[in-house]
Amino acid sequence: MKTLMKPSVFVLAAVLVCTSVQAQTADEIVNKHVAAIGGKSAVENVKTLYIESDVDVAGNNAPSTTWIVNGKGYKNEVEFGGTKIQNCYTDKGGWTVNPMTGQTTAQPIPDEQLKAMKGQINVGGPLFDYAAKGNKVELIGQDTGDYKIKLTTPAALNVTFFINKKTYLIDKTVSTASIQGQDMETTVLFSDYRKVDGGYVLNFSQQVTLPMYTLNITHKKVEVNKPIDPSIFDMPK
């Protein structure tokens, strides 16, 4: 009887440990992630970000510039094939110009797409201060290297964050969004994390896999709290 009881006790102890680990789940992991990217004060002290990057599309390089005014606006310009593709999101709306699709003048971004992309105006990402943004998180599992945190937004955007168990930085995200009636999945791999001015930690390399192609993005220059003219977010007439 004693011989039979010992394994049972060990199994019960293991179950209790696993239950305890799961009970602390999402909030503790997210809090450690926020600490890993510099902490709440470092994120909140970032008022603007100016980023120059290289975007590789099937071996073709395209220079990119991004402007972010935290909580107010996001604008990205990519020069590709002699044309300039622009996407802009603000707390009030958004617009796009894409000559490669025959769109030579600025057009409003449809509400459905805007809801999915609008989170880019926020420094720190959707996990930072997630509850205040109306987002919800839950721990849906883990593998040998990452915790899997599912985030759901009021816009019905679902994102799974793979958060490294050692560094608490994001290794990967997998997101699904409904665009023009079709569900689209996007996978992003993050690497080369660096601390920028003010202590904020930002990834300098991303691999973005979309249904039709893959983008490799490498940041060459990042400036924190550089003055940005808010008029750059106004839709051209």
> Tens digits of per-residue pLDDT, 162-213?
999 999 999 999 998 766 667 788 999 999 999 999 999 999 999 999 888 8
Written as one letter, the residue type at 161 is F
Per-residue pLDDT at 56? 94
Judged against a pLDDT cut of 90, whether residue 62 lies above it is answered with yes
Nearest to 228 by CA among 121, 129, 127, 94: 121
Written as one letter, the residue type at 51 is I
**Which residues, at least 6 apart from 129, have a Cβ–Cβ distance to it below 8 Å?**
40
CB 78 within 8 A of CB 55: yes
Over range 53-66, report the average pLDDT.
93
Q: Which CATH class is domain 24-222?
A: mainly beta
Which tens digits make up the pLDDT trace of 87-134?
Answer: 999 999 999 999 888 888 999 998 878 877 888 999 999 999 999 988
Task: Tell me the average pLDDT of the chain.
Answer: 87
Residue 25 pLDDT grade (very low, low, confident, very high; cuts 50, 70, 90)? confident
Question: CA 126, CA 128: separation in Å to the nearest integer?
Answer: 5
Query: DSSP letters of the chain?
Result: -HHHHHHHHHHHHHHHHHHHHHHHHHHHHHHHHHHHTT-HHHHHT--EEEEEEEEEETTEEEEEEEEEETTTEEEEEEEETTEEEEEEEESS-EEEEEGGGTEEEEEEPPHHHHHHHGGGGSTT-TTTTTGGGT-EEEEEEE-SSEEEEEEE-TT--EEEEEEETTT--EEEEEEEEEETTEEEEEEEEEEEEEE-GGG-EEEEEEEEE-SS-EEEEEEEEEEES----GGGGSPP-
In DSSP terms, 184 is beta-bridged to: 177
Q: Which tokens belong to 201?
A: 């930690």
